Amino acid sequence: MKQKNGEEPLPERDGEGPTLFQTQANMSTHPAFWKGKGDARILLRVLTPQECKAVPRAEALAIFVAHPPSDDLQAGWLVTRSWEGTAIPSFPHGAGCSCCLPAQGMGRMLLRLVQERARGECPFFSSVNIVCPASEKRLLVSALCADSLLTGLYGLLPISGGFFCHS
């Protein structure tokens, strides 16, 4: 199909030469978000219990926050962990303050998991899914995005309008 600009038809490109437009655009430009299959970081999803039903579980680790998981919710994951601490840290002096940084925070747990994976102390997972109540989801994503050490190892799956792209 030829395009027309006024009266003159535009030439067909036939896949030759560089294009001025992106062929695959990322969903977000934020450095914390996962860029797709070419991203070398571990994929990190923050999900509600209802959303995690559609997520592949065979090679994934699941962390259950603030609620004991049911048997069907816990089934099928490569590794499961529970988190009883506060999912969202508070920083009265700012995010970089060492006295405000909780030693047992969610970010520290995720960093420990990468270390355990590298040392062979846990099965080699390809993604991590944090299952939390819907009321904590956006706050947890914001807290994880603020941790630059964490975002160097994990790529958060972007949230857009409440829908996730699992590609």
d(CA 116, CA 131): 20
5 to 8, 9, 11, 19, 83: CA distances (angstroms): 6, 6, 11, 18, 60
Q: Give the pLDDT confidence of 66-81 residue by residue, as tens digits.
A: 778 888 899 999 999 9
Q: Label residue 20 by pLDDT band (50, 70, 90).
A: low
CA 48 to chain CA centroid, Å, is 13
Question: What percent of the residues of the chain are helix, what percent strand, and what percent coil, each to the nearest 5?
Answer: 25, 20, 55
In the predicted structure, residue 167 carries a pLDDT above the cut 50: no
pLDDT (tens digit per residue) in 27-46: 456 778 888 888 899 999 99
Domain ranges of the chain: 38-89+104-160
Residue 128: count other Cβ atoms within 10 Å of its Cβ.
21
Question: Does residue 102 carry a pLDDT above 90?
Answer: no
Question: DSSP assignment, residue 157?
Answer: P
